[in-house]
């Protein structure tokens, strides 16, 4: 089978590998669509482990069923969680399944979604395979994973109806945050970005207002929000300037959700007095989504409560994966880039 092997953002090679063999409890999936995530092009994170086959926003068709699997049949349309929790460790039982060792290190699909076929380990089959409604396309299904992450993030940020939400960074994750905040009853949603193309996308996704990220964001926010800052600030970019803007833009009693990773050396100054004493500001982070979040995300997309079709800007073949990575890395010529191996 063909796979797209990542060496760096400018070197993605189509190579041949054997089709994975399925064992007891496992599935083989023929990949129909896999989205390129912004995290896929973080060279500081990826290159040190290259060469590797990436791709975790994945959907396809069951091509083979391992011994003992009764819930799924050949030909069934599915989306897959590329990693799943154990459900029994301290972290899972205390409500933090996405930092479980099993999820972080031991349950990846083989070899990854940028391939013609993937082997789904038995534990993923048990709790990380989601049958797709006939009305949902494979393209739409690639948004289940990123929306699951967004769901968990907004839950940890305790987003409530009637709040003002500021989303810093209008890439795909930021645009999903805009939509979900609107669906959860936010009174006012404001988005920022450096790129006008993405600011326009934020408007189409439901933002009440957008701010150029190089402007004085806190001042502009006060103008738009009756003199107040934001109740919830969601940081969807690893840019240090945005991290500082977030701390400057959160209102008293508010929450800042650091949703995007940064390069390892990035740090920001924190004034305990300014942020916490007499302000009650909460800082929190979020990583990944649980299987329950995947299922909720699927239902939100299926029902049309979260619209994803307008976020797709490129549909490419496996042979064009290198172009796809370059488009996502440039960040100003695309939104969601989807690889379709059979294209």
Residue-wise pLDDT for 250-304, tens only, equals 999 999 999 999 999 999 988 888 888 888 999 999 999 999 999 999 999 999 9
Q: Which residues of 328-342 are buried (b: 16+ CB within 10 A; e: fewer)?
A: bbebeebbbbbbbbe
Residue 271 has a pLDDT of 86
Q: Which CATH class is domain 158-285?
A: alpha beta
Residue 278 has a pLDDT of 82
Taking 90 as the threshold, does the pLDDT of residue 131 lie above it? yes
Least confident of 116-130, 137-151, 215-229, 272-286: 272-286
Helices 144-156/291-303 angle, 10° precision: 110
Predicted confidence band at 107 (pLDDT cuts at 50, 70, 90)? confident
Place of tokens 């408007």: 203
Residue-wise pLDDT for 47-61, tens only, equals 989 999 999 999 999
Q: What gap in Å lies between CA 131 and CA 342, rounded to an integer?
A: 20
Predicted confidence band at 229 (pLDDT cuts at 50, 70, 90)? very high
Residue 331 has a pLDDT of 83
List 230's β-bridge partners, or say none: 250
CA atoms within 13 A on the CB side of 212: 3
Which ranges in the chain are annotated with CATH 3.90.180.10?
Answer: 2-148+288-339
Give me the mean pLDDT over the 66-75 stretch: 98
Which ranges in the chain are annotated with CATH 3.40.50.720?
Answer: 158-285
57-65 and 77-80 strand pairing: antiparallel
pTM beyond 0.95, yes or no: yes
3-state class (DSSP) for residue 320: helix
Q: Which helix (H) or strand (E) holds 255?
A: strand 250-258
Give me the mean pLDDT over the 201-215 stretch: 98
Of 78, 207, 74, 69, the C-alpha closest to 126 is: 69
Domain topology for 2-148+288-339:
Quinone Oxidoreductase; Chain A, domain 1 (3.90.180)
CA of residue 217 relative to chain centroid, distance: 25
3-state class (DSSP) for residue 48: helix
């Amino acid at each position: 089978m063909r796979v797209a092997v990542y060496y760096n953002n400018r070197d993605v090679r189509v190579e041949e590998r054997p089709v994975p063999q399925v064992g007891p409890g496992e599935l083989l999936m023929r990949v129909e669509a896999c989205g390129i995530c912004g995290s896929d092009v973080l060279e500081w994170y990826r290159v040190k482990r290259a060469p590797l086959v990436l791709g975790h926003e994945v959907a396809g068709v069951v091509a083979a069923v391992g011994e003992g699997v009764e819930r799924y049949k050949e030909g069934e349309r599915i989306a897959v969680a590329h990693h799943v929790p154990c459900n029994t460790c301290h972290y899972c039982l205390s409500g933090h399944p996405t930092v479980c060792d099993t999820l972080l290190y031991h349950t990846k699909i083989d070899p990854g979604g940028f391939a013609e076929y993937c082997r789904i380990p038995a534990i993923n089959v048990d709790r990380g395979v989601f049958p797709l409604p006939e009305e949902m396309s494979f393209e739409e299904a690639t948004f289940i994973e990123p929306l699951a992450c967004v769901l968990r993030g907004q839950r940890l940020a305790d987003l409530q109806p009637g709040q003002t939400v500021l989303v810093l960074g209008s890439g795909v994750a930021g645009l999903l945050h805009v939509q979900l905040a609107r669906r959860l009853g936010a009174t006012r949603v404001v988005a920022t970005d450096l790129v006008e193309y993405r600011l326009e996308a934020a408007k189409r996704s439901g933002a009440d207002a957008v701010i150029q990220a190089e402007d004085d964001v806190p001042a502009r926010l006060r103008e738009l929000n009756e003199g107040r800052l934001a109740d919830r600030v969601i940081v969807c970019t690893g840019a240090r300037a945005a991290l500082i803007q977030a701390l400057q833009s959160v209102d008293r009693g508010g929450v800042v959700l650091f949703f995007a990773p940064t390069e390892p050396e990035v740090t920001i100054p924190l004034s305990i007095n300014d942020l916490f004493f007499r302000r009650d500001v909460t800082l929190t982070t979020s990583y990944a989504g649980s299987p329950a979040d995947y299922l909720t995300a699927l239902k939100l997309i299926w029902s049309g409560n979260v619209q994803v079709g307008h976020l797709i800007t490129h549909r490419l073949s496996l042979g064009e994966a290198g172009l796809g990575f370059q488009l996502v890395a440039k960040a100003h010529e695309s939104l969601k880039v989807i690889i379709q191996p059979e294209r």
